[in-house]
Chain A
Amino acid sequence: MCLGIPAQIVRIDDAERMLATAEVGGVRRQVNIICIVDDNHPVEACVGDWVLLHVGFAMSRIDEAEAEATLRILTELGEMTP
């Protein structure tokens, strides 16, 4: 039920209604981006964003630096343990 999937916003369809097209593994569908838009991140800035998609709504912008940090911890753990 709470499943979400990473998707990339490829186009804004309707800025007023906050609708955009997202691509998920080669498949495109319209999604609502109201939850990832704020004063510091306007609608037009969303193109190219990687987002976590849940039941047709982009619910979070995926933070690339945090993803890399998590993987770096795992790489370091591998170097430390024999």
Chain B
Amino acid sequence: MKYIDEFRDRDKAAVLLRAIEGVADEIRPEKPLQIMEVCGGHTHAIFRYGIEAMLPDAVELVHGPGCPVCVLPLGRVDDCIAIATQPGTILATFGDAMRVPGSRGSLMQAKAHGADIRMVYSPTDALEIARKNPEREVVFFGLGFETTMPSTALTVLEAERDRITNFSVFCNHITIVPTLKAILDSPDLRIDGFVGPGHVSMVIGMAPYDFIARQYRRPLVVSGFEPLDLLQSVLMVLRQIADGRAEIENQYARVVASGGNAAAQRAIDAVYEPREHFEWRGLGSIDESGVRFRDAYASFDAERRFAVPGVRVTDPAACQCGAVLKGTLKPHQCKVFGTSCTPEMPMGALMVSSEGACAAYYRYATKAT
């Protein structure tokens, strides 16, 4: 397929790997350099193509917090199930949220017990369900970073325009910059550079990352999702480290404009405002890392339409998801990895989604570790 096949070329990958080895030799770090890929889509691609195993020993990839399903706390899943199980309600959700464990089971289990929970590809599909079922309450489980925020916002704007009153959103959208800042501020941080999220950046542009170079002196390269994209981005991060530079660069210029997408940004600004803080599984509470609907869109806010328990539930004590997310622990070093926590019976959220570091390790890398 156009714009995919040419970025999977084997010969060019070999050239990039030789160049990466060359720069790594030039740097000669005492400890392996840690490069964090922030986005869960990158994590998935890195494992799918075996990229981590191709890199020289001097370069280590750390799989960051960019899997929105993985960082959703137990209490929010419980709230979502509380909404889904109210009589007459239809809950529409992306498929990858179905298996996230709450404190008393997942959406999948709630569905098995009779709740009307439907998987959709787009929030507009959820709105369509609301149009076709005017006597039912239809709630869309909105989650994701800035990539997905505009689609939810534009769907709410469409519902407002078409005066659809039986549609609302349980909003769990989160933002990338406060999260990166929380990671950079953590005392045990060892990250030397970042591979930045491609599709979040397509929406927000390049400028929001400037502080990473300026205040924290770390390089960040926004990357595409194909193997050549990821290898080139790793090379660009290493080149900056070798040169003693810390800059924000764009490897994915075919999709990411430096200013981002203006229409998407307008939709985000119109519909959402920051929450004071939002709870993340494994990372705890991060200030201004989540958004909620503005008062003007209160009628589309499922949290205000339905009584949700809103109880904070502590992560399972045995889980070490937080340490894995910050790169201080490799997935297979977690106490419960592959024993009481597996993709079939996940305990920690990183084992749930195909974008979660632990699920990816379990599926692709356990033999190698």
Which A positions have Cβ atoms within 8 angstroms of B?
A: 1-4, 6, 8, 25, 32, 34-38, 50, 52, 54-57, 59-60, 62-64, 66-67, 69-71, 73-75, 77-78, 81
Cross-chain contact B41 with A78 (CB below 8 angstroms): no
8 examples of A-B residue contacts, CB within 8 angstroms? A2-B39, A2-B147, A34-B154, A59-B199, A62-B3, A63-B255, A66-B253, A77-B19
Cross-chain contact B148 with A55 (CB below 8 angstroms): yes
In the assembled complex, the Cα of A66 lies from the Cα of B355 at a distance in Å of: 28
Q: CB-CB < 8 A to A55: which residues of B?
A: 94, 121-123, 148, 151
Cross-chain contact B12 with A1 (CB below 8 angstroms): no
Cross-chain contact A54 with B151 (CB below 8 angstroms): yes
Cross-chain contact B15 with A56 (CB below 8 angstroms): no
Nearest-Cβ distance from residue A78 to partner chain B, whole angstroms: 4
Q: A2-B199, A54-B199, A67-B3 are in contact. Are A37 and B263 (CB under 8 A)?
A: yes
Which one, A25, A38, A63, A81, contacts B254 given CB within 8 A?
A: A63
What is the number of residues of chain B that contact chain A, defined by CB distance less than 8 Å?
Answer: 57
Cross-chain contact A4 with B199 (CB below 8 angstroms): yes
Cross-chain contact B16 with A77 (CB below 8 angstroms): yes
Nearest-Cβ distance from residue A51 to partner chain B, whole angstroms: 9
Q: Which residue of A lies closest to B125 (CB)?
A: A56
Q: CB-CB < 8 A to B67: which residues of A?
A: 1
In the assembled complex, the Cα of A56 lies from the Cα of B127 at a distance in Å of: 12
In the assembled complex, the Cα of A78 lies from the Cα of B15 at a distance in Å of: 5
Cross-chain contact A6 with B121 (CB below 8 angstroms): no
Q: Is B4 an interface residue (CB 8 A)?
A: yes
Nearest-Cβ distance from residue A60 to partner chain B, whole angstroms: 5
Nearest-Cβ distance from residue B231 to partner chain A, whole angstroms: 9
Cross-chain contact B154 with A32 (CB below 8 angstroms): yes
Nearest-Cβ distance from residue A56 to partner chain B, whole angstroms: 3
Q: A56-B124, A56-B125, A78-B15 are in contact. Are A1 and B232 (CB under 8 A)?
A: no
Additional A-B contacts beyond A32-B154, A66-B254 (12; CB < 8 A): A1-B96, A3-B41, A52-B199, A55-B122, A56-B125, A56-B151, A57-B151, A59-B199, A60-B261, A74-B12, A74-B228, A77-B15
In the assembled complex, the Cα of A57 lies from the Cα of B154 at a distance in Å of: 10
Q: A1-B41, A1-B147, A54-B151 are in contact. Are A6 and B2 (CB under 8 A)?
A: yes
Q: Is B167 an interface residue (CB 8 A)?
A: no
Q: Which residue of B lies closest to A26 (CB)?
A: B1
Q: CB-CB < 8 A to B143: which residues of A?
A: 1
In the assembled complex, the Cα of A50 lies from the Cα of B6 at a distance in Å of: 15
A-facing residues in B1-33 (Cβ within 8 Å): 1-4, 6-7, 9, 11-12, 15-16, 18-19, 22
Q: CB-CB < 8 A to B300: which residues of A?
A: none
Cross-chain contact B154 with A60 (CB below 8 angstroms): no
Q: CB-CB < 8 A to B253: which residues of A?
A: 63, 66, 69-70
Q: CB-CB < 8 A to A6: which residues of B?
A: 1-4
Cross-chain contact B254 with A62 (CB below 8 angstroms): yes
In the assembled complex, the Cα of A2 lies from the Cα of B45 at a distance in Å of: 12
